[in-house]
Amino acid sequence: MYAEPLAQRVVELIEGAAFTHLDSASVLGMIALLLAGAGLVTLTNFSLDGGERLSLLVAEPFPRVEASVGVVLAPGGVTAALAERLRRYAAHPAVDALVIATADPDARYLPREIDGVPVRTALLVDSVTDSAS
């Protein structure tokens, strides 16, 4: 499976779950468990260049590893600081695609790629921001 189909699969798995009344760390942990339960390999706190860490990196299990997808949690949407981090993540050779998990429906209007790296948005249902209302 290549980057775009893997990213789409990650989006579908995330959007098929509800994350009721959870804080950000718990949502990220639940996403990792959900993806692992679907047979994907998940690496948390994946070390990137310059000491930066990607919260979650997802790939198919060996020997089918053809692509890896970075999953970034942005419950309140994408800020300018996060957009810059996404650009740095996209530049790393281990990241073939990015999925932004957010409760902000406007995030669906983000660019579909950053520097040639596919970007997809997974809308969180009943997530951190929904539970605050």
Question: How many structural domains are present in the chain?
Answer: 1
The pairing of strands 113-114 and 97-102 is unpaired
CB 118 within 8 A of CB 98: yes
| pLDDT of residue 76 exceeding 70 | yes
Span 16-74, pLDDT tens digits? 998 887 788 899 999 999 999 999 999 999 999 888 899 999 998 877 778 999 999 99
Mean of all residue pLDDT scores within the chain: 88
The residue to which tokens 């409760």 are assigned: 103
In sequence order, what E strands does the chain have?
Answer: 41-47, 53-59, 68-73, 97-102, 113-114, 117-123
Span 107-123, pLDDT tens digits? 777 889 999 999 999 99
CATH of the domain at 59: 3.40.1350
pLDDT-above-70 percentage for the chain:
93
- Containing domain of residue 124, as a range? 3-131
Confidence category of residue 130, pLDDT binned at 50, 70, 90: very low
| pLDDT of residue 129 exceeding 50 | no
- Both structure tokens of 125: 């249902």
